[in-house]
Amino acid sequence: MKKIFPCVEINIKKITHNTRVINEICKSKNIHVVGVSKVYCAKLPIAQAMLNGGIEIMGDSRIENLKKMEHLKCRKMLLRIPMESHASEVVRYADISLNSEINTIKVLSRAAKRVNKIHNVILMIDLGDLREGVLESETLENVKEIIKLPNIKLCGIGTNLTCYGGVIPDSDNLGRLVKLKEAIENSNNLSLPIVSGGNSSSLYAVLNDTIPSGINQLRIGEAIVLGRETAYGNKIPNCYSDSFILKGEIIEIKDKPSVPKGKIGMDAFGKTPSFIDKGIIKRAIIALGRQDIAPEGLNPVDNCIEILGGSSDHLILDISRCSNKYKIGDVVDFNMDYGCLLRTMTSPYVKKYYLD
């Protein structure tokens, strides 16, 4: 089959392999993995690859993506705090949702009651990263309200770290989460089966055996698709980091100066660029731009290539040092970081091809 560029080649076997490896690592510590599908927009071949690797719950931040996975044989979790206006859809498409607002949980209660369903909620606790979650001091008060609501089951507590404030999960903050779980159970005579201890940034603590006993769930996306934990960016042993390869076609090659001529103002994105004078260089343009990718998140497979920058539709490369004599129509391969992968998989202008 002739490929259309730009495109992403997605290696399904590598994703299944990474999922299986990470699932087994976590299972050895009595931790269940929720497979997070948001970075690839819940595209079904990739979600199924995670299920084939042993995942039993799929999680996503968008109701639209949970709808895509409606017929997959697994439980579904809504990761972003629900909007009240989406309550009916949350109850329909998510078996579990992460929550931090009592009023929203009350709306979910009414929505669940209308369709005679029990909706499971995990109460999110802010342990210092300052994204979502109730304060630790307010947790018991919130729990007392939640457990009174009809058609709502409080199935656990959770937290999110590193995504906003960069706070590293450790034995202190995750240990406080475990103690909160114990306090909730003791003061309300109930059992909380889930203590959801964060995302791929918590994996380093699993790998070095410092994650507190009692953390029994992690929500893992980036570690599976890119093969690395996200607290320090270290590669996970026996995992692939190249499950996704971005491919772009060269549309221009010219020898040009390395510094623009004229008075420098703002670029198309409101930034004032700066340049290093390297004389005349061989510049290549790829038919890819910031509408599809984040240039700063790209890493050319040919390490002789330097990325100079990009506009909405053009990616500018310095190929002066390359032994490969690139020509018009050649295809250049790139690895991507999480932010770039997120944008690329969301872009309708980048074709997706699955390798199996």
Q: Report how far residue 43's alpha carbon sits from residue 353's, in angstroms, rounded to the nearest whole number.
A: 11
Q: Which amino acid is at 264?
A: I
Q: Report how far residue 58's alpha carbon sits from residue 40's, in angstroms, rounded to the nearest whole number.
A: 13
Q: Please give the structure tokens belonging to residue 165.
A: 């404030």
The secondary structure of 191-233 as a DSSP string is ---EEE--SGGGHHHHHTT-SPTT--EEEESHHHHHSB-SSS-
The secondary structure of 316-331 as a DSSP string is EEE-TT-SS---TT-E
Q: To which H or E segment does residue 309 belong?
A: strand 306-310
Q: Report how far residue 64's alpha carbon sits from residue 69's, in angstroms, rounded to the nearest whole number.
A: 9
> 293 forms bridges with which residues in the sheet?
none
Please report, for residues 93, 129, 138, 169, the alpha-carbon distance to residue 163 in angstroms, rounded to integers and kept in the order given: 25, 8, 22, 11
CA atoms within 13 A on the CB side of 343: 16
Which phi and psi (to 5°) does residue 324 adopt? -70, 125
Q: Which amino acid is at 46?
A: I
Which residue shows structure tokens 């709306």? 107
Q: Report how far residue 291's alpha carbon sits from residue 67's, in angstroms, rounded to the nearest whole number.
A: 25
Q: 6 preceded by cis ω (within 30°)?
A: yes
Let me know if 38 is a catalytic residue: yes
Angle at 265 between CA 262 and CA 269, to 5 degrees: 130
> 32 forms bridges with which residues in the sheet?
217
Q: Which of 27, 29, 38, 43 is catalytic?
A: 38
CB 155 within 8 A of CB 196: no
Q: Which residues are catalytic?
A: 38
